[in-house]
Amino acid sequence: MINLSINSKLPAAGTSIFTVMSALATELKAVNLGQGFPDFDMSPELTGLVNEAMKKGMNQYAPMQGYTPLLEVLAEKVESLYKTIIDPLKQITVTPGGTYAIYTALTTVLQPGDEVIVFEPAYDSYIPNIEVNGAIPVLIDLKFPDYKIDWVAVKQKITDKTRMIMLNSPHNPTGAVLGEDDIQQLRSIVKDSKIIIVSDEVYEHLIFDNIPHQSILRYPDLLERSFVCFSFGKVYHCTGWKLGYCISSPALMLEFRKIHQFNCFSCHTPSQVALATYLKNKEAYLSLGSFLQQKRDYFQGLMQATKFTALPSYGSYFQCYKYDRISNEGDKDLAIRTKEYGIASIPISAFYKAGTDNKVIRFCFCKKKETIDAAVERLSLIG
Ligand SMILES: Cc1ncc(COP(=O)(O)O)c(C=O)c1O
């Protein structure tokens, strides 16, 4: 008998908590505040543009790096938002989603044994993406409860094997955002080093309270050593499209494309054609922060009638809550209990490799008013 068993590259990986919670939410007809996606429709104008592109026959492979007019409008957007001029043909690649852009960036750079600094709680793909490349995640906790980066700890963890630092702002799951002081600290740490930065900025426009988004794209000296990853799904309420892009220096992007061209090669053409037109409407993305801020404020306001205690959220789709006025149980147990009340939520310990439990759970507020109302009505019964 031939032994067909595989030596797993990710032996510890199971089904992600998001999949588990969403499946449970469907099965139990719970209100799903677990996984991060909107439950309202995207722009009919944008779906119309995709339809139009299909009808016009834009249905064959797009160029490997992306549909040129889309790359051009993205470069214009970067210049107008962040005052940095980038070469659309050499510095941007359209990818099937932000997660793929992150994976490709890591795979482009990492060699076995390289160390990568990752802040926890961390989006669930980062650590497996590092490990699958034979590299080593070096984990640093964000400071609880404000989830700021401990730059002293970062300096202490840097070794001659440190190849990357991964950033995420606005941050999933906590809604924390980087400030200018963080950028200065980062600058001084990476200066004169070979450290590459992967900056996950899929929530670029979902930032509140008039805080400016500290994109790496604002800083040409950092962009030179960075892969900055974005998601059209998060910006245009179409997470199911799985379309995003990565911006880097010409030299790094050349290497990124070597990986990309033998994996996905090129992305869905009609969506790219549609986005090339739709992106000219700046209001659609510039209004996103205040649109989501209203949802955050509405959710926070209603939640005051419950026994959950809000932690600050300055960006993203997410709002974290402590529940020390309800119970002392672990966050996974509490998430299971919210599900019994008909609410899917996500325990923050799921975002730590070692399962660190600060007794906090995450709710996604990017939902219709009716969904938020129904959710809070049920949450107010807990405790
Ligand atoms: C921090 C973060 N990065 C990346 C992604 C994935 O983006 P995409 O759906 O475009 O792959 C998500 C989605 O939840 C996210 O929260």
DSSP assignment of 118-164, as one string? EEES--TTHHHHHHHTT-EEEEEEPBTTTTB--HHHHHHH--TTEEE
Q: How far is the CA of 333 from the centre of ligand 1 (A)?
A: 25
**Angle, in degrees to the nearest 10, between helices 68-82 and 269-278:** 40
Is the CB of 168 inside a 6 Å radius of any atom of ligand 1?
yes
Q: Does residue 174 line the site of ligand 1, with CB under 6 A?
A: no
Beta strand 115-120 with 92-95 is: unpaired
CA–centroid distance, 179 to ligand 1, in Å, is 21
Nearest CA, atom 14, ligand 1: 36
Give distance in angstroms: CA of 1 to centre of ligand 1.
Answer: 43
- Give 157 Cα–ligand 1 centroid separation in angstroms: 26
Ligand 1 proximity of 200 Cβ (cutoff 6 Å): yes
Span from the CA of 328 to the centroid of ligand 1 (angstroms): 31
Tell me the C-alpha distance between 229 and 227, whole Å.
6
**Does the C-beta of 120 come closer than 6 Å to ligand 1?**
no
Q: Indicate whether residue 173 lines ligand 1 (CB < 6 A).
A: no
CB distance 270 to 53 below 8 Å: yes
Q: What is the pLDDT along the chain (383 residues), one digit of tens a residue?
A: 889 999 999 998 888 777 877 787 788 888 999 988 999 999 999 999 999 999 999 999 999 999 999 999 999 999 999 999 999 999 999 999 999 999 999 999 999 999 999 999 999 999 999 999 999 999 999 999 999 999 999 999 999 999 999 999 999 999 999 999 999 999 999 999 999 999 999 999 999 999 999 999 999 999 999 999 999 999 999 999 999 999 999 999 999 999 999 999 999 999 999 999 999 999 999 999 999 999 999 999 999 999 999 999 999 999 999 999 999 999 999 998 888 888 999 999 999 999 999 999 999 999 999 999 999 999 999 98
Rounded distance from Cα 56 to ligand 1 centre (Å):
31
Q: Is 172 in the pocket of ligand 1 (CB under 6 A)?
A: yes
Q: Is the CB of 97 under 6 A from ligand 1?
A: yes
Tell me if 315 CB under 6 Å of ligand 1: no
Ligand 1 site-directed mutation target among 99, 242, 365, most atoms within 8 Å of CB = 99
Instruction: Please work out whether the CB of residue 98 comes within 6 Å of at least one atom of ligand 1.
Output: yes
Q: Where are the beta strands (DSSP E) in 232-345?
A: 244-248, 309-310, 318-322, 343-344
Pairing of strands 318-322, 309-310: antiparallel
- Give the position, in ligand 1's atom list, of the atom nearest the Cα of 171: 1
Strand 318-322's sheet: what is its strand order?
A: 309-310, 318-322, 360-364, 346-347
